[in-house]
Chain A
Amino acid sequence: MNSTLILNIIRFVLLIIAQIVIFNNIDLFGFINPYPYILFILLYPVNSNRAGLLVASFLLGLTVDFFANSGGVHAAASLILANVRPAFFKFAFGLSYEYQTIKINDRLSPERFTFIFISIITHHFVMFLLEFFKFTFILDILLRTIVTTIFTLIVSIIIIYLFKPSKR
């Protein structure tokens, strides 16, 4: 229990640093930045404390907001993703997920890919919706959601593969 707590704290800090120092400065084609910091929410232990995840996601998003001058956009999107995560687990892995020991950071199976994909697209859609905050920008919102989702997905999968914990 204690080691997972420490692992999660380290992951929290490292992902924020990576997001701010590296990924916020990529600007592919002038407007696309990946947001792999949400990996924290995806990799949070499945059966762990729910309230802890909600508070941690909120703080995670708020920290990114402070750096991006974006109000509470990332905080709200991360919080919503943390809240719907159990439903996505059910959708991707089937009803009995709590009895299995699901590990997201393992070999990429179709179930894992589905879970990561729908999580990222949900987060990004909520984020861009709140960021533009106007219905006239709906095409921009959809375009950015799709393009950024693809980019975040690639970066996230690379990160998962790079930092795959060795088998214990």
Chain B
Amino acid sequence: MQQIFNFIFKNSNRLLFLLLLATSLVLVIQSHSYHRSQMVNSANFLTGTVYEEVNEVKTYFSLREQNDKLARENAELKRILFNKKDSTSVLEKDSVKGYDKIDVIQSKVVHNSYNTSENYLTINSGSKDGIKPDMGVVSSQGIIGIVEKVSPRYATIFSILNVKSKINAKVKRTNHFGSLIWNAKNAGYVQLVEIPRLASVKKGDTIVTGGNSRIFPENIPVGIIDKIYIDTETNYYTLNVRLFNDMTNLNHVYIIQNKHGEEIKKLEAETKKNE
């Protein structure tokens, strides 16, 4: 017994080091394993408040630019509205259920990262505003990511610029599905993989989100094809996609809530259980 105590006293610094090292390595490994495993994240009161204050100062310099962006978006929405037969009628509700399937919550990015291999954003709305994990996040130009962690007033977003990200997408013209991934090389480009070789894709085709996702509705713009690589081993194309979004300059975002998402999720879980 005496010897054990002696050992602990003699090596107390080394033991302390090993204990703290183990703790930090557990946190690292946890953050690298799959989705929503992150314990250390910026969706909490302290980091959220600090980022909001910093962002307050930063956005002041880009007010004009952001206003122009919103005005352009308004013009686009007006164009769609005026081209309808009756521009005063409200959009039709779902004819069976009588309510909209998709809800949109507006929010603001207070912290944006795009220079590591696993990027996250922080937004200034949380569970109080109805944000829940696994909701899709888009801007006026295209997709941004998926809600990861939620606190009462803030939430972190798993960016599409994250090597763990895998989002269902398709080529708009030919309707061929694939997965959207990121190779951590350039913040302006993502990769669309698993597009079969028989698809006749060409440079300049538009990529949109596919219908296989319960997070994003179909046909949200992603980007255009910039380069086509042929994978000699797998018979699939790898497409380099230039994003419509400038991921380095984000401010106003929309969070998409698919009201049927929970139902689909439950159904899928039950199906899996029965197999």
Contacts and interface: CB of A to CB of B under 8 A. Distances in A.
B31 A70 contact: yes
B20 A54 contact: yes
Interface string B5-49: 000000011001100110111111111100000111110101100
User: How many of chain A's residues touch chain B, expressed as a range?
Assistant: 35 or more
Contacts of B58: 25
A65 B114 CA distance: 15
Nearest to A58: B20
A79 B17 contact: yes
Given A72-B28, A80-B21, A30 B187 contact: yes
A65 B21 contact: no
Interface in B114-146: 114-118, 120, 122
Given A31-B115, A76-B28, A67 B47 contact: yes
B28 A133 contact: yes
B28 to A, nearest CB: 5
Given A54-B16, A79-B17, A72 B47 contact: no
B50 interface: yes
A80 B25 CA distance: 11
Interface of B: 12-13, 16-17, 20-21, 23-32, 38-42, 44, 46-47, 50-51, 54, 58, 111, 113-118, 120, 122, 156, 163, 184, 187, 248
Interface of A: 20-21, 25, 27, 30-33, 50-51, 54-55, 58, 61-62, 65-73, 75-76, 79-80, 83, 130-134, 137, 140
